[in-house]
């Protein structure tokens, strides 16, 4: 419950004024939200306020808010004004949340550190020479720097959890199919979910759960979204849970990161079971093959005619489309369109894409088996702490950092990142992955970790 709604919004706007010049978490700030705060304060006094009354929320730049820009931090959509609200936005507004602005991200959500934004990189509030993580870097930084109470991000391969880990906040990717993607500008449809990011600590975890309850649940405008949130976010286990640790996941991390997270796992006091995933080396190629194929297809609509910056119609169709795409997409987006188009070509499809689908299926079965033996799987969220801006020199170096997060997307499982401590002043995230629709246990364990 927000005690003083008007004071809260002014505090957040002041924090933006003071720090966002340096952090650059936002692309657009909605200063007119103070009027909404006044209305909601009145409603609260009259005892008619919704579940999130006065909660100040930032929204990632790929989620549509009617009448506002949804840029995806791309030149291609720099002037795109969303004509409708995403379902998650309608639901937040119906429960009296206040949307404070649209946040920066990697262009079209392609990246792990928000440096591929066409506008500017977002800086980590814990050390402004370092990245905030990505692709929802603006979202995480806006929460970590006290510029909002919660943020909406999207997670296709780790984009909520990675920046949550780097900025020391909480980030949840819910079970696939529990939150509507209607109004989310798609990156790779079979992998992504919208998720909430909130601060650090027990209250923040509770707010995260509450936000998921508000945004989640069936939506007839998203054919995949048929699952009721109902009891899912509440505790579902009577027995003390067992926690699994995948040895290869810990081995893939910096020693100090592994040790920090292992200490936190031990402190939970659950029975710990070691697991082995020989397929770990296939995770990155499998994710990138599937994601790029779906991404290349999703990007076809930006041709300068249907969507995106206007093509020069004086030129031939091929020339004008090619020019619009060449001029307005950044390097990383182009790289993925090329890769995805290539691997889905009829001639080579079976060598790459079909193969990746096979691994995805095997992986899903493997995790079903794991989660028959244990109730949760814990690991670090990222193999390192936040790196310096510009430090990742090659795309493959950047891709490798997603090794611990992509599994939850490939298998559809829920996964949270919570703060597990710091190394040299930089936050370390612990990831907890649960069974489908068992967000309740994930949240409960995350909250328990806060007590230890
Ligand atoms: N880092 C991953 C990628 O670059 C994840 C992206 C995401 O979740 N949107 O593909």
Query: How far is the C-alpha of 182 from the C-alpha of 170, rounded, in Å?
Result: 24
At a CB cut-off of 8 Å and minimum separation 6, what does 442 contact? 172, 376, 414, 415, 416, 432, 433, 434
**Reported pTM:** 0.97
Element (H, E) at 396: helix 395-400
Question: Is 45 an active-site residue?
Answer: no
Out of 72, 74, 106, give the residue to mutate to test ligand 1, the one with the largest number of ligand atoms within 8 Å of its CB. 106
Residue 252 in tokens: 């893939």
Eight-state DSSP code of residue 50: -
pLDDT digits (tens, 9 = 90+) for 253-303: 999 999 999 999 999 999 999 999 999 999 999 999 999 999 999 999 999
Residue 320 in tokens: 């004008």
At a CB cut-off of 8 Å and minimum separation 6, what does 10 contact? 34
Query: How far is the C-alpha of 284 from the C-alpha of 309, rounded, in Å?
Result: 32
Residue 237 predicted with pLDDT over 80: no
Query: How far is the C-alpha of 133 from the C-alpha of 166, rounded, in Å?
Result: 6
Question: Is 220 an active-site residue?
Answer: no
158 CB within 6 A, ligand 1: yes
Residue 441 in tokens: 């246990």
Query: How far is the C-alpha of 320 from the C-alpha of 416, rounded, in Å?
Result: 44
Phi, psi of 428 (to 5 degrees): -120, 135
Residue 411 in tokens: 């298998």
Q: Name the band, by pLDDT with cuts 50, 70 and 90, for residue 239.
A: confident
One of 74, 112, 135, 379 is an active-site residue; which one? 135
153 CB within 6 A, ligand 1: no
Q: Name the band, by pLDDT with cuts 50, 70 and 90, for residue 435.
A: very high
What single string gives the DSSP state of each residue in 338-353?
A: HHHHHHTSTTTGGGTH
Query: How far is the C-alpha of 219 from the C-alpha of 91, rounded, in Å?
Result: 11
At a CB cut-off of 8 Å and minimum separation 6, what does 392 contact? 113, 115, 398, 401
Q: Tell me the CB-side half-sphere exposure of residue 400, using CA atoms within 13 A.
A: 11
pLDDT digits (tens, 9 = 90+) for 125-146: 999 999 999 999 999 999 999 9
Phi, psi of 369 (to 5 degrees): -65, -50
Looking up tokens 């093509």 gives 311
pLDDT digits (tens, 9 = 90+) for 72-110: 999 999 999 999 999 999 999 999 999 999 999 999 999
Contact call for residues 284 and 406 (beta carbons, < 8 A): yes
The string over 84-119, giving b where at least 16 C-beta atoms fall within 10 Å of a residue's C-beta and e elsewhere, is ebbbbbbbbbebbbbbbbbbbbbbbbbbbbbbbbbb
Higher pLDDT, 253 or 1: 253
User: Which residue(s) pair with 123 in the sheet?
Assistant: 131
Residue 73 in tokens: 């931090």
Domain boundaries, the chain: 5-229
Query: What's the pLDDT at 179?
Result: 97
Query: What's the pLDDT at 235?
Result: 65
3-state secondary structure 145-193: CCCCCEEEEEECCCCCHHHHHHHCCEEEECCCCCECCCCECCCCCCCCE
339 CB within 6 A, ligand 1: no
* pLDDT (mean) for 35-53: 96
Query: Homologous superfamily of 5-229 in CATH?
Result: Amidase signature (AS) domain (3.90.1300.10)
């Amino acid at each position: 419950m927000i005690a003083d709604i008007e004071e809260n919004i002014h505090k957040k706007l002041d924090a933006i004024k003071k720090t966002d010049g340096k952090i650059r978490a936002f692309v657009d700030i909605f200063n007119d939200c103070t009027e909404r705060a006044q209305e909601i304060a009145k409603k609260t006094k009259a005892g008619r306020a919704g579940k999130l009354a006065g909660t100040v929320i930032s929204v990632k730049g790929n989620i549509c808010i009617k009448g506002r820009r949804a840029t995806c931090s791309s030149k291609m959509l720099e002037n795109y004004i969303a004509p409708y609200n995403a379902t998650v936005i309608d639901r937040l507004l119906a429960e009296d949340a206040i949307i404070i602005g649209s946040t920066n991200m990697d262009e079209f959500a392609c990246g792990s550190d928000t440096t591929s934004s066409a506008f500017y990189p977002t800086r980590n509030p814990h050390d402004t020479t370092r990245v905030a993580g990505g692709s929802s870097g603006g979202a995480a930084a806006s929460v970590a720097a006290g510029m909002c109470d919660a943020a909406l991000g999207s997670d296709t391969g780790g984009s909520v959890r990675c920046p949550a880990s780097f900025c020391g906040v909480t980030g949840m990717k819910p079970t696939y199919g529990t939150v509507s993607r209607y109004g989310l500008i798609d990156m790779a449809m079979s992998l992504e979910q919208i998720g909430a990011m909130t601060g650090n600590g027990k209250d923040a975890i509770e707010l995260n759960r509450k936000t998921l309850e508000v945004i989640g649940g069936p939506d007839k405008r998203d054919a995949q979204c048929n699952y009721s949130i109902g009891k899912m976010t509440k505790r579902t286990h009577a027995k003390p849970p067992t926690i699994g640790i995948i040895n290869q996941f810990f081995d893939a991390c910096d020693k100090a990161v592994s040790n920090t997270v292992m200490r936190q796992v031990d402190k939970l006091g659950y029975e710990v079971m070691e697991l082995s995933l020989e397929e770990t080396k296939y995770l990155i190629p499998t994710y990138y093959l599937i994601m790029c194929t779906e991404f290349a297809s999703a990007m076809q609509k930006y041709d300068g005619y249907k969507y995106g910056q206007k093509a020069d119609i004086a030129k031939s169709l091929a020339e004008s489309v090619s020019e619009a795409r060449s001029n307005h997409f950044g390097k990383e987006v182009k790289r993925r369109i090329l890769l995805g188009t290539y691997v889905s070509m009829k001639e080579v499809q079976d060598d790459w894409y079909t193969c990746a689908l096979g691994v995805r299926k095997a992986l899903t079965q493997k995790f079903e088996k794991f989660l028959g033996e244990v109730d949760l799987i814990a690991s670090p969220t990222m193999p390192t702490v936040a790196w310096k801006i510009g430090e990742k020199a090659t795309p493959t170096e950047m891709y490798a950092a997603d090794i611990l997060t992509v599994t939850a997307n490939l298998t559809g499982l829920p996964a949270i990142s919570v703060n597990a401590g710091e190394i040299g002043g930089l936050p370390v995230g612990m990831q907890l992955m649960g069974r489908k629709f068992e967000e309740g246990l994930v949240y409960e364990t995350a909250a328990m970790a806060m007590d230890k």
